[in-house]
Amino acid sequence: MPVGTLYGISVGPGDPELLTLKGLRLLKQSPVVAFPAGVRGQPGIAQQIITKWLRQEQVLLPLTFPYIQDDHLLMQAWKAAAGQVWHYLSQGADVAFACEGDVGFYSTFTYLAQTLQHLYPPAEIQIVPGVSSPLAAAAVLGLPLTLRHQRLVILPALYTATDLKNVLRWAEVVVLLKVSSVYRQVWDVLHELELLEHSYVVERATQPGQVIHHDLVNKPNLALPYFSLLVVQAESPDR
């Protein structure tokens, strides 16, 4: 029996209409649709994005990827998820894995795909790119992310003020992902470097609860949700 294909489908940051035509076609035609399970019984963001496109006869496969730092427990979760996916692939059924943002950009799908290939070498995997959160944030801000010679740095998380200062010595545009836990120390650095007027925070880009914060000079203590990012234009387009 031919083995099914696992499709890693990028579903974008929140707006269901940012799903690509290819992603939508594969999502609709796959008999099994997988996605990261939500927390406390609530649907996760990827599931919320794709719900309107799903057919009643499709099998829904929520996969658990815990938000922890323990490598051993994470590996066990990845192995369990790969086994659940392989159950369907080995029977010839295609599985569409819906992933928030882009599957190649700090994505849970990468760990699932790598584990699946390691444990089940016959598995076929295809990737469908999509809209990542920095590009979505730039769009809702109405700004180009980069222009001409500008160098772009994207940091998945910031742990020290020194990291940001070092990057701002040579990059003209910096995007800080999931900035909520370090926002105050980032604010202090931007204040020191006089960049607050050229920095922007976007909460939940393109989602119904989207919030945009312009000109951060008087906003040192923002209480931000987990899915927030900050864009710094160390050299803005009009300068």
Residue ranges covered by each domain of the chain? 5-128, 133-233
Report yes or no: 129 and 63 within 8 Å, Cβ to Cβ.
no
pLDDT of residue 197: 94
| CB contact at 8 A, 189 and 232 | no
C-alpha distance from residue 230 to each of 11, 12, 58, 168 (Å): 21, 18, 38, 14
Average the pLDDT over 35-52 and give the result. Answer: 91
Look up the CATH number of domain 5-128. 3.40.1010.10
CA distance 69 to 58: 33
Tens digits of residue pLDDT in 193-227: 999 999 999 999 999 999 999 989 999 999 999 99
Question: Among all chains, which residue has been given the structure tokens 């604010």?
Answer: 187
Residue type, 200: Y
Q: What are the strands of the beta sheet with 95-99, ordered from one edge?
A: 59-63, 32-36, 95-99, 5-10, 124-128
62 burial class (0-12, 13-18, 19+ CB within 10 angstroms)? middle
- Which bin fits 109, alpha (ψ -120 to 50), beta or left (φ > 0)? alpha
Per residue in 120-170, pLDDT (tens digit) is 999 999 999 999 999 999 999 999 999 989 999 999 876 677 888 999 989
Is residue 178 predicted with pLDDT exceeding 60?
yes
Structure tokens at 3: 């083995």
- The model carries a pTM of 0.90
Q: Does domain 133-233 have CATH number 3.30.950.10?
A: yes
d(CA 98, CA 128): 10
Residue 236 pLDDT grade (very low, low, confident, very high; cuts 50, 70, 90): low
Please list, in sequence order, all residues whose beta carbon lies within 8 angstroms of the beta carbon of residue 229, skipping any fewer than 6 positions away. 133, 134, 137, 175, 176, 177, 178, 179, 201, 202, 205
34-46: average pLDDT:
90
Q: For 172-195, what is the mean pLDDT?
A: 94
